[in-house]
């Protein structure tokens, strides 16, 4: 879960959002309270059975711009999906809600995710936004279930040292990592800083995301390329195991 505040915004608690001022509405701009955006998304997530385990919020000193990230627990509790939130009262950007396995929300206006909603602050936004959020949250279970299946496949795909080396080299060739990151990925894979299990595609995936945290957040397309490479490596590893010769067992001695 990623909420970066380095361009003037400061962290706040959920309870502090209610005290922030809301400008008067005009004919073309109808502000929606920052807390209302959070409540809207929280309600929809809870209604469809998603459990929020962490939340982080930030606002600019004048309270005009809001940023937030909600963390959703996965079914196996081993990783988290994220929901990114953004709202402004000064017309700098529209209401934004993003969903994905890694969401990047920054007070320098960077905003990215797998599924993104943007809605201008019009008179109809307050009425249309709840249904729009619900339309995206409702199929979120399918997206999260597909991701869980992908991670399960990664866990069930053991890699030999040769296969891991080949995968890291391919990640370099596909511009997922640069030459300076090869050693970082290799070290994180061989000596994981966290418990990523045995030497599998799952450990390699985590080694890459750990080594490239900043780049993945700034360039979401990297995530898609990373998955494509790891998926292919899993398929290659499967066929390598399928083609491996079956070791012959010694014959039992014949009874006299």
Q: What distances in angstroms separate CA 153 from CA 88, 185, 255, one per listed residue?
A: 41, 20, 46
- Sorted by sequence, the CB contacts under 8 Å of residue 240 that are 6+ apart come out as 163
> Does pTM top 0.85 for this prediction?
no
Question: Which residue is listed with tokens 């900043």?
Answer: 214
Tens digit of pLDDT per residue, the chain (256 long)?
456 565 667 888 888 888 888 878 777 777 788 888 898 888 888 888 888 888 888 888 888 888 888 888 766 555 567 788 888 887 777 778 877 665 555 544 444 555 566 656 666 666 666 776 777 677 777 777 777 788 889 989 999 999 999 999 999 999 888 898 999 999 999 999 888 889 999 899 888 888 876 555 455 567 778 888 999 988 877 766 666 665 555 555 555 4
Query: Domain spans of the chain?
Result: 2-139, 156-243
- On whether the CB atoms of residues 99 and 107 are closer than 8 A, the answer is no
CA torsion, points 132, 138, 142, 148, in degrees to nearest 10?
90
């Amino acid at each position: 879960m990623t909420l970066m505040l380095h361009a003037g915004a400061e962290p706040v608690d959920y309870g502090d959002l209610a005290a922030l001022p809301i400008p008067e509405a005009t004919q073309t701009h109808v502000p929606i309270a920052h807390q209302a955006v959070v409540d809207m998304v929280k309600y929809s997530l809870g209604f469809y059975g998603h459990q929020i385990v962490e939340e982080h919020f930030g606002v600019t000193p004048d309270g005009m711009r809001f940023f937030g990230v909600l963390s959703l627990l996965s079914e196996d509790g081993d990783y988290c999906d994220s929901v990114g939130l953004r709202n402004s009262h000064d017309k700098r950007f529209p209401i934004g809600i993003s969903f994905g396995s890694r969401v990047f929300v920054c007070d320098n206006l960077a905003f990215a995710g797998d599924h993104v909603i943007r809605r201008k602050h019009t008179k109809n936004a307050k009425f249309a936004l709840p249904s729009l959020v619900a339309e995206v949250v409702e199929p979120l279970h399918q997206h999260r279930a597909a991701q869980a299946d992908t991670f399960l496949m990664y866990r069930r795909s053991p890699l030999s040292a040769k296969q891991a080396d080949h995968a890291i080299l391919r990640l370099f060739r596909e511009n997922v990592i640069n030459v300076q990151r090869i050693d970082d990925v290799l070290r994180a894979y061989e000596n994981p800083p966290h418990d990523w299990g045995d030497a599998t595609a799952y450990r390699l995936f985590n080694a890459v995301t750990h080594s490239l945290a900043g780049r993945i957040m700034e360039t979401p397309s990297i995530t898609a390329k990373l998955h494509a490479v790891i998926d292919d490596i899993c398929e290659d590893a499967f066929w390598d195991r399928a083609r491996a010769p079956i070791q012959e067992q010694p014959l039992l001695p014949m009874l006299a």
